[in-house]
Amino acid sequence: MEETEEGHSCPIDVTPSMITGLLEVLRLWKGRMDLNQLAREVGMEPGLLLRVAEVGKLLGLLEFVDGDLVLTKAGESYTRRSSSGKLGMLRELVPNIEPFRSVIGLLERNRSPMTVSEINEHLKVCTDDEQLETFKTFLIDWLVATGILEYSGEEETFRLKRRRARGQVSSGAS
């Protein structure tokens, strides 16, 4: 996927399930639907629907054509996948957009677990405690669910998930 334009970022009130729901509805409508008609159809406030659609566009799963939302080939592929297949596809796509790219980069540079407050100190995503809690849920929904990050509820910290190299055999020692 191409890198996003500077300044475009995933709003913290948009979840992967919102993206999935939008794409599934579009698929039912033959992959194309007017934004206002779609808002009425799904009963979603148009502003929120537009934010969800923008994230779908950033992920390369849909595009805007003459006022309509249109599934891309990647979006069509996404809707045909199982739940684990959808998570795998998101795992490949989300590191390319903000704020995910910055969170991942920060944790790579820091090399130790960080709280949501520490992440926010660096990235300045939130301005109050309520937003901070929403940001924590956002990171769990997008980056923990896709297997990019791990979250320790006990310590309330995030860290990059360790990945074994392909073909590597676990020694059994942890």
Residue 3: pLDDT over 60: no
User: Domain segments of the chain: what residues?
Assistant: 16-79, 98-160
Residue range 155-169: average pLDDT? 72
pTM of the model as a whole: 0.82
pLDDT tens per residue across span 127-153? 888 889 999 999 999 999 999 999 999
Q: What is the CATH number of domain 98-160?
A: 1.10.10
- Fold of the domain spanning 16-79: Arc Repressor Mutant, subunit A (1.10.10)
At residue 8, the pLDDT reads 62
Phi, psi torsion values for 72, nearest 5 degrees: -85, 175
Q: Residue 1: what pLDDT?
A: 30
98-160: same fold as 16-79?
Answer: yes
In 3D space, the residue among 83, 91, 86, 87 whose CA is nearest the CA of residue 163 turns out to be 91
Least confident range from 43-57, 66-80, 112-126, 157-171: namely 157-171
